[in-house]
Structure 1
Amino acid sequence: MADQKMLKFVDVERDMPEKRAPDLRRTDFHEIYAEYADEKAKEQAARCSQCGVPYCQSHCPLHNNIPDWLRLTAENRLEEAYELSQATNTFPEICGRICPQDRLCEGNCVIEQSGHGTVTIGSVEKYITDTAWEKGWVKPITPHAERSESVGIIGAGPAGLAAAERLRRAGVQVTVYDRYDRAGGLMTYGIPGFKLEKDVVMRRIKQLEDAGVEFVTNCNVGEDISFDAIRGKHEAVLIATGVYKSRELPAPGSGADGIVRAIDYLTASNRKSFGDDVEEFESGELNAQGKKVVVIGGGDTAMDCVRTAIRQGAESVKCLYRRDRANMPGSQREVQNAEEEGVEFVWLSAPKGFTGDAVEGVMVQQMRLGAPDASGRQMPELIEGSDYVEEADLVIKALGFEPEDLPRLWGVDGLEVTRWGTVKAAFTTGLTSLDGVYAAGDIVRGASLVVWAIKDGRDAADAILEDLSQGASVAAE
């Protein structure tokens, strides 16, 4: 007979943690969701149906043991729930905050399909690990024995940090090289505080530092140190740089002042949250205060930009996207949050060009959805004669990211890349065409989710450990 603590979905409705009122949250960069109270977390976890085939788990890139840690939470066995949660996920409290659960675990919840509303998996995951930190259950990383081998990791984003944690637990000596002055990659400088407060990321980085991981920051490979020098220092190297090259918008007037890249805009805002002096922010170049802001794009980066601009005191914020709401790639939860905060979405619209030497407006052409393309999504088509100008004095391009040309930037021969510019690496192991060199995360799969980067970093670390144990590694065929 099923445990009476579970299967409460028939009697208990789905209930997210309380969300701060829009007029309050739009004035600061604090996270918008409150924490679950203990009883509420247990109640919501108890809604899990404990189904025989847990689609939530199979649709999670990390295959987290979701039904099991929901059950443990419902039974008030929180420390065990945390142990199970962190067994498959290096940063569960980060994934609980920023994963698009509506597209992954929660979007495939069996009780959602039956009309009862999905289990609030992400919020419970966040609650479990935040409680673990508060109660002191998150233990220092202490290897059973030190090993002499050393691994160099290029990039301190989620893939690099997940690999560093796994390697360090095994006693391997780890050095992480990163171009920024703080580790964390886009978790630190790309994702705004209202989705992921920075002390959550810094706490994990300190845990790695305390464990003996060496961070070499402000380090540009190819300039401050050569790739060959890094290879010479370590038995294995993991490339986990992510993808930082912004897609451009080839349109008349696109070089005007006031048209900026999303990554520059978000980085400046996050640096301000750390208390840094940011010249481009103080000058107004990367500050939306008092401006008519237009963000171009429909992904999660675009959502980060529009919601940041609101908090900076923009006069108005509009988001242009060439498809409709149902076909946008960003999280629907984020769209709703943005609308509540005062963002206006202009669907089925695309930029044709820009007016003014210092941008004054976006020439917009209206679209309609036509026949599906090869991916099954309907292709936008122009509506002739529908052009108009949208006033703007700050335009933020959030059109996605592409890989940098690493072989050229680093002056390295033999590192094979795909036709998209991503590093060619073996599936599951991450082994590249160079002996002892692995790659993981977005630099292999293209711009993707933090949870996929964590999975890739963990998988690459396991492959490196296996090859180190065998005493040699063989380049991918």
Structure 2
Amino acid sequence: MAERMLQFTHLPQQTPEKREALERRADFEEIYKRFDVQSAKAQASRCSQCGIPFCSIHCPLSNNIPDWLKLTAEGRLEEAYELSSATNTFPEICGRICPQDRLCEGNCVIEKGFESVTIGAVERYITDTAFEQGWVKPIQPRHERAESVGIIGAGPAGLAAAEALRQQGYQVTVYDRHDRVGGLLIYGIPGFKLEKDIVLRRWKWLEEGGVKFVLNADIGGKISFAALRAQHGAVLVATGVYKPREIAAPGSGLPGIVPALDYLITSNRKSLGDAVPEFDSGKFNAAGKNVVVIGGGDTAMDCVRTAIRQGAKSVTCLYRRDKQNMPGSLREVANAEDEGVIFSWLAAPEAFLGDIGVTAVRAIKMHLGLPDASGRQSVEAIEGSSFTLPADLVIKALGFDPEDMPGAFNDPFLKLTAWGTLKTNPKTFETSLPGVFAAGDIVRGASLVVWAIRDGRDAAASIQQYFKAQSLSQAAE
């Protein structure tokens, strides 16, 4: 065991310096500063190098975390980058936005008696340094292959698959409905969690490696799904899920009640310098308004913290369960509280009030009941506990459902699950259509970026096996 490791007994946990709340409320820049080289080495040295690395086990990508922590502690950063990037297409992105407190860091062995290793911050430091030092080289396949793959969706699942397939020499074209690459990474996640030049840098890297991009692509419209299938030897659908869940309450159709993703996309486009009439008109601008965000996931946290930065008069998060049962990252909740967000726990909307636009939310207090079929405690309303919150802007952050993919692609033979997601073979990722694969949220439902990366990489491996099987079949004829 290297002498540089197991330093947790006398070195306390140190996270990267966080900008003061008043300062960070004024802009959309990332709130955490970077580790310097000594801090990164010191924090990496706190790893216990345990025999069963629960951090890796609880990482969807099975990242070799103890190994690249050890290399970082020894100052062997280029090797640490090579090891980190071997299992993760975007380590610098996961280091910023993964809920480490629920995944790797939350399962760190030393966390029970000491504070966990700051895995995410070290991961981010390794790859940021690799880019600065020129260690991140464009993809250079050993052999070019004739087979081509069309990928629908330039989000994390599609991009992870594109990287993996291009590494093997396949001709890869990625199609996306938007005008920039990244999907929710570019338009859904605010800059204070993931600055957009980080995503744009990966776009350039993929292009330099030979991945082609067709943006503003209307698949199922101007570009028929059948034509796309005919053009490529295999197709991967990685569109994600964007359809917002609705609220069944009186007044839910009032002006001023908006979906979370529409709100976030508008804000991110404004930050990117785009002309955004719906922001300028005030429809998706929280400035001077009483804002109520309904939901308790990471999207809700993105919305409340965006509203604060837009200059909202007040921001309240309404969530029907308590703090311990919310699905979002507790680290994000703490950041939101620091920035001035008010949390109304155990409360749910009962009705929306207003005439020509929303003016208030009537909510009712809830209490946790017995566990339901999933094992999670049910929620029940407390009779006579209604209260009213002023609201000029209400943001619905209740989650997302899949769009009608057979309808969008004009292909009724594309089968769905009972939840409306694409039905695939769980081992091969192949859909009901031969040669058409699917990965990411459009298969598993709304989930984490790190799971989308895992699915994209696994789907790429299945597509490679599909091509090999085709070659063997043709050779046998």
Tell me the TM-score range normalised by the shorter chain: over 0.9
Counterpart for residue 441 of structure 1:
440
**Quick one: which amino acid aligns to residue 397 of structure 1?**
K
Counterpart for residue 235 of structure 1:
233
The answer to whether residue 326 in structure 2 is matched with residue 328 in structure 1 is yes
Counterpart for residue 284 of structure 1:
282
Counterpart for residue 423 of structure 2:
424
Bigger shift: residues 376-385 or 463-472: 463-472
SS at match of 2:358: coil
SS at match of 1:298: coil
- Rounded to whole Å, the distance in 2 between the matches of 1:224 and 1:472 is 32
C-alpha displacement of 1:473: 10
Counterpart for residue 342 of structure 1:
340
- Rounded to whole Å, the distance in 2 between the matches of 1:269 and 1:218 is 19
1:11/1:220 CA distance change after superposition, 3 Å: same
1:473/1:364 CA distance change after superposition, 3 Å: farther
Query: Counterparts in 2 of 1:457-476, with a 5 A limit?
Result: 457-471=456-470
SS at match of 1:12: coil
TM-score normalised according to structure 1 size? 0.98
**Quick one: which amino acid aligns to residue 13 of structure 1?**
P
SS at match of 1:471: helix
**Quick one: which amino acid aligns to residue 458 of structure 2?**
D
- Rounded to whole Å, the distance in 2 between the matches of 1:198 and 1:442 is 22
**Quick one: which amino acid aligns to residue 454 of structure 2?**
K
* Structure 2: stretches of 5+ with no match in the other structure: none
Structure 1 contact 436–473 (Cα < 8 Å) conserved: no
The answer to whether residue 406 in structure 2 is matched with residue 401 in structure 1 is no
- Rounded to whole Å, the distance in 2 between the matches of 1:422 and 1:58 is 27
SS at match of 1:188: helix
**Quick one: which amino acid aligns to residue 142 of structure 1?**
Q
- Rounded to whole Å, the distance in 2 between the matches of 1:27 and 1:202 is 23
Deviations 1:258-278 (A, max 9, x none): 000000000000001110000
C-alpha displacement of 1:137: 0.4
1:5/1:212 CA distance change after superposition, 3 Å: same
SS at match of 2:115: coil
C-alpha displacement of 1:472: 5.9
- Rounded to whole Å, the distance in 2 between the matches of 1:224 and 1:293 is 39
Query: Counterparts in 2 of 1:240-255, with a 5 A limit?
Result: 240-255=238-253
Query: Counterparts in 2 of 1:67-466, with a 5 A limit?
Result: 67-113=66-112, 115-356=113-354, 357-466=356-465
SS at match of 1:369: strand
- Rounded to whole Å, the distance in 2 between the matches of 1:359 and 1:152 is 44
Counterpart for residue 20 of structure 1:
19
SS at match of 2:16: coil
Deviations 1:353-378 (A, max 9, x none): 10113000001011111111122221
C-alpha displacement of 1:471: 2.0
**Quick one: which amino acid aligns to residue 348 of structure 1?**
L
- Rounded to whole Å, the distance in 2 between the matches of 1:195 and 1:425 is 32
- Rounded to whole Å, the distance in 1 between the matches of 2:469 and 2:21 is 56
C-alpha displacement of 1:317: 0.2
SS at match of 2:114: coil
- Rounded to whole Å, the distance in 1 between the matches of 2:122 and 2:382 is 46
Counterpart for residue 4 of structure 2:
5
Find runs of 4+ consecutive structure 1 residues off by over 4 angstroms: none
**Quick one: which amino acid aligns to residue 300 of structure 2?**
A
- Rounded to whole Å, the distance in 2 between the matches of 1:346 and 1:217 is 41
SS at match of 2:321: coil
C-alpha displacement of 1:470: 2.5
Structure 1 contact 435–473 (Cα < 8 Å) conserved: no
- Rounded to whole Å, the distance in 1 between the matches of 2:17 and 2:387 is 40
**Quick one: which amino acid aligns to residue 292 of structure 1?**
N
- Rounded to whole Å, the distance in 2 between the matches of 1:135 and 1:422 is 42
C-alpha displacement of 1:385: 0.7
**Quick one: which amino acid aligns to residue 202 of structure 1?**
L
- Rounded to whole Å, the distance in 1 between the matches of 2:363 and 2:12 is 43
C-alpha displacement of 1:43: 0.3
TM-score normalised according to structure 2 size? 0.98
* Structure 1: stretches of 5+ with no match in the other structure: none
RMSD: 1.0
- Rounded to whole Å, the distance in 1 between the matches of 2:244 and 2:323 is 23
The answer to whether residue 61 in structure 2 is matched with residue 62 in structure 1 is yes
Counterpart for residue 44 of structure 1:
43
Deviations 1:82-106 (A, max 9, x none): 0000000000000000000001000
Deviations 1:374-412 (A, max 9, x none): 222211111111112110000000000000110122110
- Rounded to whole Å, the distance in 2 between the matches of 1:437 and 1:132 is 35
- Rounded to whole Å, the distance in 2 between the matches of 1:214 and 1:112 is 44
- Rounded to whole Å, the distance in 2 between the matches of 1:190 and 1:473 is 43
